Structure formats: C-alpha cells, structure tokens
Amino acid sequence: MAQIFSTQSLAKSYGNRPLFDGISFGVEDGERLGLIGPNGSGKSTLLRLLADLDTPDRGTISRRRGVRFGYVAQQDAFPDGATVQSVLMDALAGMPLDDVERETSVAVMVGRMAFDDPDQMAAALSGGWRKRLSIASALIQEPDVLLLDEPTNHLDMEGILWLEQTLKGASLAYIVVTHDRYFLEHVTNCIVELSRAYPQGFLTVSGAYSEFLVKREEFLAAQAHQELALAGQVKREIEWLRRGPPARTTKAKYRIDEAGRMMQDLSELKERNAEERGARVDFTGSGRKTRELLVARGVSKSLGGKLLFENLDVALTSGLRLGLLGPNGSGKSSLIRVLTGDLAPDAGEVKTADGLRIVYFEQARSNIDKSVSLRYALSGERESVTFRGSTMHVSAWARRFLFRSEQLDVSVGALSGGEQARILIANLMLQPADLLILDEPTNDLDIPTLEIIEDSLISFPGALLLVTHDRFMLDRVSTEILALDGKGGAGFFADYGQWERYQNRAVEAVASASAVKASSSPGIRTFRGLTRVEQREFDRMDEKIADAEAELAALQERMASPDVVTDYIKLQEYMTKTSEQEKVIEGLYARWQALEEKREA
C-alpha cells in the first residue's frame, strides 16, 4: 500500500514543558491507527499538527501530493444559528462542486447519519448528535485521512456502536485518539502509544489493541529486566571506584568514563520505568455491615410526557456493582436522582438504610469550582489532607494524582478535562461511602488511570452504581447490568455481552419482520434465474450471514476480555478462530453475491 504521509522527528513543547520529541511514523492507504498515551503526552496536539492547525517546534511532516485530511476535534463547535444542513454545506465550501452536487451530497449525508430534520438547529442537538454532526461534516469532504480526537465522548452505547460500523465500512485511512479499549480493539489495525516510558518516546505495534497489550507487556518487562541488570553492573563499578583506581592509566580513565555513562543510562531507565506508575486511586468504604443499603420497589417516572421507566425494582446491596445502560434521554440520570431522593417517583417507593452515606461523581462536574487554584480544590484552606486517618501535605496528595508541585497554584479552569476529573476523584476518595455512584467517570481519563480506577472499584466493599459508555470498564467491573430501553422498559442482564446479544437479536427480529412484510406486499419483483434448491439457499442466506457474524462478534468479545488479553496462548487461539470465522463470512457473502447475480440474469 502507498504511504499517505509520514512524520520525521516531530517535537513539540508548551512553555518549558515538552510534550514529545523525536516522533516518527507513517500512515498508509486504508490503515486504521489508534493513538493512545497518558494525559498530557500530546495526543491531541499531534492530531492538530497532522491537520495543519499547529506547527511543530522541530521535525517535518511529509504529505502525499493532494492528500486531504478531515479533522474532528474533542469539543464540537458550530456557528451561531447553524443548522444540520448549513454545517454540512459549509463543510463543502471550497470544493469543486456545483450547487446540485452540493445539495445531493448533503442530502445523502443527512440520510446516512440518520438525522431526522436537516433544518434542526445544531445548538439544540444533544452531545451525542453534535458529535455525529461533527463526524458527518468531516466525512462529507471525502478525506483521505480522518483524524478523530476522543470521538466516543458524549456518545451513548448506540452511538458508539454506530460509529464503529461507520468506521469499519469506510474505505479511508484514519487516526483515532480514544480511551475506549473495546473501540480500539474493533476499529484499529495499528496502535501508537506516546509515553516517556519508551526510549524514543513512543511505541508502535501493528495489530489490534489486544495484540498491542501483549507486545507492550513484553517490551516493558524486558526494559525492567534491563534496569535490574544495569543496576548490578553500576553497583560493581561503584565498588571499583571506591577502591581508588589509578586514574592516570588510559584503561582506568576509560572505565571511569564508562561507569559514568552506565549511571546516566540507569537513571534514564529508572525514569522511564517510573512513567508506568499511574494515579493511586482507592475509594474508601464506610465499613458498614448492613447488607441492604437501598431498595426501590415499583418505581415509575415520566418527564415532559415521556415515560422513562415503569414498575422498576432495584436493590443495592454491599458488594453489588450495578452497571446502568441506556440511550441518551432514556432516564439514567433521572433514575439516579429518584434513588438518591433528589427526585420523587411518580409511583413506588425508595427505602434506604439509616444514615446511608452516598458519594456521587456527577457527569456534568458542576460541583467543581474552576475559579480556585488546584491547591484549594484539593485541600481547601488547609495545607494538608487526612486520608484514612493519615495526614499528608497537599503537594504529596497532588502527586498521588499525577499533579506536579508547580501546578498547585494554577487555576482549575486552566487544567485539562482529565486533570479536572482527577480532582473530583481525589475529593471522592476522602469521603467514606456506603453507596458509590459514578455517572460517566471515564470522560477525559487516560487508559492507565482507567485501569487503576477499575481495580479500586472491584475491591470497593460497598455498593456501586456505575453509568459509563466504556464497555471494557462496564464488563470488568459490573456484577450485573440494568438496561433502560428509552421507551419505558428496563431489563437486568448478567453482563454487557448478554445485553449486546439481546440487542442484536432484537435488531434481527425487526429486520426479519420487515423482510416478511415486504415479501408479502403486492407488486414484489420475482426472479426466475435460480433453481428451487438455490432459491431456498438464497432465502436462508441472510439468516446464515447473521448467525456467522453473531458468532464472530462473540469471538471478538471473548478475545477482548481481560483473562484472554493477558494470556498469550489463549489470545493466539482466539485470533486464529476469529480469522477463520472472518473467512467463513467472506465465503457466505461471495455465495450470496453469486446467487444474487444469477437470479437477476
């Protein structure tokens, strides 16, 4: 495949703080690259450099002649008064199209993206639909490379699955910055991680995210082993130096210089290996022995004439980790407010244990004051915090959440979204809880922090109610799933995989019913090019393909599970099975096309 662009030794700093240095990689036609790394490693900045919206301090970007880049920023911004249609028309400005071609392109994109009303105001769209409009405005320009910065933020589960299918069906190359690990597994074939943990500042691995995890673990293990070996060598050289070598001899002088070089190499290795240490997150349970903490019986709620949920029973007990799913507007936040007593149910009742202590991470993050300093946000008027009976200085507490001492006097509003989320998590950790409610805690957090939060939630002794679109976290942490369907219905599932299979069967049932209705309609076109046996085969082909794709999805889901991802032998086994199933599906599609051509002959 031909290369679309390449970077050579890119470097970028902000003030005295270097983001990255020496970044070199390229993207070929059809390549699907996932760009990951800790918060502050420069992922968004690198995308802006590629989109030609910023300039590097050093290094070059070589682009193929005439290549077009599409860029979708983290924050969606549209002009005042813009509509869905006007945003898409503006995106086509400057392209060599006449008015009819522009109108046709916009109409096609509106239908492809499933917008109900092209004249709807962009400002009135929900966060998920605003993101969809941003993606549509980039796709309509038919770029060779699409650059996506955290595209799953603000999308509900339906929106994320839609985006996955959109990217899988796209013929263009793309680079996506995301912390959604299932998303990375499903839509990428190459991973680049920016991190000071690597000698060159980045690591590139061809393959899906699960393959990257294996290679990354191997690399870091080798680097840790190298540190131990070098530490032993340095120890011996220090002992030799203490004995007072004859410094005037050429051989001794060379050995002294070599010892100095080894010490420098060891210092750099230690620094790189230390980069792997993430924020130390540990939610505090209250120690309450009561098993039933909150019980809701027969609760119902409608808002604005829309039924959100009806006759719903929920019991939150110690050790239960309940994941809450549902499309945007289905009533997840309203259910939380009903359970916490902030909103009265239309019917039913909610009973809580005496003195129930609830700690709540709010999605809107409205309880964070952006005008104060980081120091004040972490410890108030005091210079120290008390965590589990121990007192520590605010600078030490800040370091626990990956803040530098020089940031303590920076205003919270000047910090990144991920840094603001870490402030909220730090404050939550100081509050012992019986019931922990986390409403979309993953937005803006990097993967290392997410992994640490997951470990803490799994060991949390109280009850947990978790709302997140991060399927990996949902699957790993939740012991049960409650799904709202957006139409007043709700159901409980053992895990995310069971819910997804249920959703797929529901979609297939609707499609099958539509097909039956269409086939019984008058005026349906008949085809005479097939034998009776072939016609029966053709009639069952949709079902066979659906079954095969469902089996592939189940294999991919199993392959992405933590116990498989961390077991190289199991991972290889599932990669082989997945590859074989993909070939089965290709064969079915090829047979379907052959039958289609024959019956139309």
Helix (H, G, I), strand (E, B) or coil at 403: coil
In whole angstroms, how far apart are CA 365 and each of 180, 417, 420, 423, 438? 20, 10, 9, 10, 11
Query: Cβ distance 366 to 373 under 8 Å?
Result: no
Longest CA pairwise span in the chain (Å): 103
Query: Cβ distance 321 to 453 under 8 Å?
Result: no
Is CATH 3.40.50.720 what the domain over 525-600 is classified as, yes or no? no
pLDDT of residue 508: 65
What secondary structure does DSSP assign to 375-442, as a single string? HHHHHTTSSEEEETTEEEEHHHHHHHTT--GGGTTSBGGGS-HHHHHHHHHHHHHTS-BSEEEEESTT
- In this predicted structure, the answer to whether residue 527 has a pLDDT above a threshold of 50 is no
Alpha helices per DSSP H over 169-249: 181-187, 209-242
CA 377 to chain centroid:
27
Q: What is the rounded CA–CA span in Å between residue 150 and residue 524?
A: 45
Residue located via tokens 């994109």: 109
Residue 310 DSSP one-character state: E
- In this predicted structure, the answer to whether residue 72 has a pLDDT above a threshold of 50 is yes
pLDDT of residue 480: 93
Question: Which tokens sit at 38?
Answer: 């800790």
Higher-pLDDT residue of 539, 199: 199
Query: Cβ distance 72 to 49 under 8 Å?
Result: no
Cβ-count burial of 465 within 10 angstroms (0-12 exposed, 13-18 middle, 19+ buried)? buried
Q: What is the rounded CA–CA span in Å between residue 379 and residue 401?
A: 13
pLDDT of residue 524: 36
Mean pLDDT of 57-84: 92
Please tell me the number of Cα atoms within 13 Å of 169 on its side-chain side.
8
Question: Which tokens sit at 553?
Answer: 């999805």
228 falls in which pLDDT band (50, 70, 90)? Answer: confident
Question: Which tokens sit at 443?
Answer: 């937005």
pLDDT of residue 532: 61
Q: What CATH topology corresponds to 292-369+411-493?
A: Rossmann fold (3.40.50)
Beta strand 173-177 with 32-36 is parallel
* Average pLDDT for the chain: 83
Query: Cβ distance 283 to 345 under 8 Å?
Result: no
In whole angstroms, how far apart are CA 139 and each of 69, 96, 422, 439? 10, 16, 34, 31
Helix (H, G, I), strand (E, B) or coil at 267: helix
- In this predicted structure, the answer to whether residue 360 has a pLDDT above a threshold of 80 is yes
Helix (H, G, I), strand (E, B) or coil at 566: coil
Q: What is the rounded CA–CA span in Å between residue 311 and residue 488?
A: 9
Question: Which tokens sit at 132?
Answer: 């969809």
- In this predicted structure, the answer to whether residue 526 has a pLDDT above a threshold of 50 is no
Give percent of the chain with pLDDT exceeding 70: 85
Worst-scoring range by mean pLDDT, 279-288, 289-298, 470-479?
279-288
Q: What is the rounded CA–CA span in Å between residue 321 and residue 346?
A: 26
**Between the ranges 347-356, 428-437, 538-547, where is the mean pLDDT highest?**
347-356
pLDDT of residue 522: 44
pLDDT of residue 445: 79
Residues 69, 74, 80: CA angle, nearest 5 degrees: 90
Please state, as a whole number, how many other Cβ atoms lie within 10 Å of the Cβ of residue 94: 8
Q: What is the rounded CA–CA span in Å between residue 463 and residue 356?
A: 11
Residue located via tokens 């995106």: 91
In whole angstroms, how far apart are CA 208 and each of 32, 116, 198, 313? 10, 35, 20, 40
Question: Which tokens sit at 43?
Answer: 């992922």
Signed CA dihedral, 99, 102, 108, 111: sign only: negative
Q: What is the rounded CA–CA span in Å between residue 598 and residue 596?
A: 5
585 falls in which pLDDT band (50, 70, 90)? Answer: confident
pLDDT of residue 366: 67
566 falls in which pLDDT band (50, 70, 90)? Answer: low
Helix (H, G, I), strand (E, B) or coil at 583: helix
535-539: Cβ within 8 A, 24+ apart: 535/599, 537/591, 537/595, 538/592, 538/595, 538/596, 538/599
Q: What is the rounded CA–CA span in Å between residue 291 and residue 297?
A: 17
pLDDT of residue 260: 67
For residues 407, 413, 419, 423, the Cα torsion angle rounded to the nearest 10 degrees is 90
Please tell me the number of Cα atoms within 13 Å of 491 on its side-chain side.
12
Worst-scoring range by mean pLDDT, 57-61, 147-151, 269-273, 476-480?
269-273
pLDDT (tens digit, 9 = 90+) per residue, 429-475?
888 889 999 988 887 778 888 888 888 888 888 899 999 888 899 99
The pair phi, psi for residue 387, each rounded to 5°, is -125, 115
Mean pLDDT of 529-534: 64
Task: Name the nearest CA neighbour of 451 among 281, 234, 335, 570.
Answer: 281
pLDDT of residue 523: 39
Mean pLDDT of 221-244: 75
Residue 372 DSSP one-character state: S
Give percent of the chain with pLDDT exceeding 90: 34
Q: What CATH topology corresponds to 3-213?
A: Rossmann fold (3.40.50)
pLDDT of residue 32: 95
| Identity of residue 571 | L
pLDDT (tens digit, 9 = 90+) per residue, 76-135?
889 999 999 999 999 998 888 888 888 999 998 998 888 889 999 999 888 888 999 999
Worst-scoring range by mean pLDDT, 3-12, 143-152, 218-227, 508-517?
508-517
Mean pLDDT of 37-66: 91
Please state, as a whole number, how many other Cβ atoms lie within 10 Å of the Cβ of residue 392: 15
193 falls in which pLDDT band (50, 70, 90)? Answer: very high
For 593, residues 6+ apart whose C-beta sits below 8 A from its C-beta are: none
Please tell me the number of Cα atoms within 13 Å of 250 on its side-chain side.
0
- In this predicted structure, the answer to whether residue 277 has a pLDDT above a threshold of 60 is no
With a threshold of 0.75, does the pTM exceed it?
A: no
pLDDT of residue 509: 63
Q: What is the rounded CA–CA span in Å between residue 100 and residue 102?
A: 5
For 255, residues 6+ apart whose C-beta sits below 8 A from its C-beta are: 237, 240, 245
- In this predicted structure, the answer to whether residue 7 has a pLDDT above a threshold of 90 is yes
| Identity of residue 208 | A
Helix (H, G, I), strand (E, B) or coil at 19: strand
